[in-house]
Amino acid sequence: MRKTYLATAVATLFVSSITTAIAADALLDDVVVSSSRSEQRSFDAPAAIQSLSREVIQDSGPQMNASESLNKIPGIVASNRQNYAQDLQISIRGFGARTTFGVRGIRIIADGIPATIPDGQGQSATVSLTSTDRIEVLRGPLAQLYGNSAGGVIQTFTREAPDRPELLIQGHTGSYGTNRTDWQYAEKVGKFGLVADYSTFKTDGFRQNSQAERNQFNGKLTYQHNDQTKIDFIANVFDMPYANDPAGLNQAQAMNTPELSTRTQNQRKIIKQNQVGTVLTHAIDGVSKVSGRIYGGNRENTHFNNFSATPSWVGLERDYYGLGLNYSSKSTIAGKDTLWVAGFDFDKSTEINQAGRSTTGNAEKNGVLTRNEDRLAQNTDFYAQANMLLSEKWSILGGARSTKVKLASAGLGGYTNAPVGSLGEVTFDAVNPVLGVTYHATERMNIYANYGRGLETPTLAEMSYDLNLNNTFNTNLRASRSNHYETGLKWLPNNRSRVDLALYYVQTSNEIITARSEGVTAFTNSSGGTTRKGLELAYQNQFNSSMKFNLTGTLIDAEFNEQFTYGSSTVNAGNKIPGIPNGMAYSSLQWSSTDFQRNKYRQVMGTLATFEFVTAGANHSSDTNAQNLKAGGYSLYNFRLAQRIDINSMTLTAYGQLNNLTDKKYMGSMIVGNGSPFEPAPGRNWMIGLNAVTRF
């Protein structure tokens, strides 16, 4: 399978193209900020980083899940579990693969505000894709400058208000009773700009007991005081009144009855989250800038379990807030131009974590408590980063981040034999450096090499149980530490194509692994190290004025280095780290009836047809690599069609997409460490939609 990925990538790279005069700027104008915390072209960034534009996000589907567009970036696996109770399963270079719910091991940042709390746990569902202007994904050593659990960084940015008022209304409907609507208004008045977006989503689900409903508001009010000072006020409301949980299946069930659920109808999750924040940017002069953020929010999360004789529930009520400040400038050091930034981050999350029994089969929150704790996660970080231009051909990068993460839990009593007082407290400290060098071979080629050291602490949820599955605060669980090495190339062979290539090697000690999962999950550390070795390729080519081709490919070999034993399980040296496919590839061929001609609103007009091919390798769900807990690879074909027209001041777009054309049976995701880990993906399915934008 691995040879197939590589052969596909190499063969496609050297496809003969029809000579077409296309400006190189078209392949260079994707602006990113993640690698240097200031705007620059991704081609110039000395790191593996890609950006997805608003156009790509919108044309990838109904914008219900980030997986629609994220899988177009190499090195990232974004799996739709078909289970909205557990969110997407996202990993970057294998970091985050072990998560059974939410996102771990990856930093998610929305409009400069963390969507990941200090312990490294985050949510992707709270990001409003319908109002997102672009998504950036940073991989490799430079991501370590974002602190704890930064195996990679995903940043999203809400669009800016347009000069003319806009009203957007869109609706989608499709297979399994899926419906999606979005209502968006954007306007600029004097120094103020407003983007207000409200979206709804409802589905009956591909599998039994997978019904879900989500409603979301995302708003950004911008005040542009003058050319030097800008303030963004951001508000986000996420309401999921229900998301039923179909849970995983065993291998036989997944292959024979993939639509089956082993849970009853009332196993579900309810989430409410409200967040506000302010981001200030002030240019002091032509080269110096200061920026700051302050934010706060509340999250309520309750999961009802009804799979045993005694229905139960777990839940939390979390309050969180934080602030950050950084200063960037340009200086001359030893006669060399140097761009640098220094900053400070403080983030804090407190939560009441509870669990209990239910007295009814409806699994209501009305029974006796079995857990009642007050928990804390807090980080205090300082960082600095500098990029020095040594000559026209060479530049160097250096930086470091001092990270201090505090995790604690205290019992609140409230039930028989309930503990009261401190259950434990642990602090993780690290100073993680990053070093890099870039060779600017030509105006069309950059070659770079980087090193970075990383820290990934256990999350509060991962510390909730000991290896005997007793309620506790498992302070024996250690943080994993990693060394990241990367070299890469960015190349414009001609004015119509671009190549991004990255090779990496990661060594990790104290890898956090799933030890037991029986209704609740316990975690431990591997006693031997792990390695991740990989290759990532991104290739773009415009064959002619109306035909585009994109290819991303990923090969990864992630394994345990030494044999070790925990409980009754023995993990052999060379076993694959679970949750990480050994390879993935995405390719698309796009045709436009208008030669990809855009109107002044950056939208491709006329007919746009897209044919996609997606393939993934085998995936284990257990550290022991048991064959009955392994999913084979798969290949999929998708087709999308869009028709966009301008009528006076209105743009109308009709969408249609057909996914999994060959009706392939495959596993969309795997639950790591679970005895029934298979989460099947749907067969052939469809979606249609209509988008109308009116300008006043």
pLDDT at 8: 39
204 residue type, one letter = D
Q: Are the beta carbons of 75 and 47 closer than 8 angstroms?
A: no
Backbone angles phi, psi at 339, to 5 degrees: -95, 130
pLDDT at 69: 94
pLDDT at 270: 94
DSSP state of 365: S
Q: Are the beta carbons of 394 and 441 closer than 8 angstroms?
A: no
> Two tokens at 405?
């993460």
> Two tokens at 324?
């950050």
pLDDT along the chain (696 residues), means of 10: 40 34 53 76 87 91 93 93 91 92 92 95 92 94 94 95 96 97 97 98 95 97 96 98 93 94 83 97 92 97 80 92 96 92 97 86 74 97 95 95 98 93 96 96 95 97 90 94 97 93 97 86 91 97 92 96 88 95 96 84 87 96 94 96 92 96 95 92 97 95
pLDDT at 21: 36
pLDDT at 173: 98
Q: Which residues contact 648 (CB under 8 A, 6 or more apart)?
A: none
| CA 502/CA 42 separation, integer angstroms | 14
| CA 176/CA 462 separation, integer angstroms | 34
> Two tokens at 12?
């496609």
* Of the candidates 154, 151, 13, the residue with the CA atom closest to the CA atom of residue 486: 151
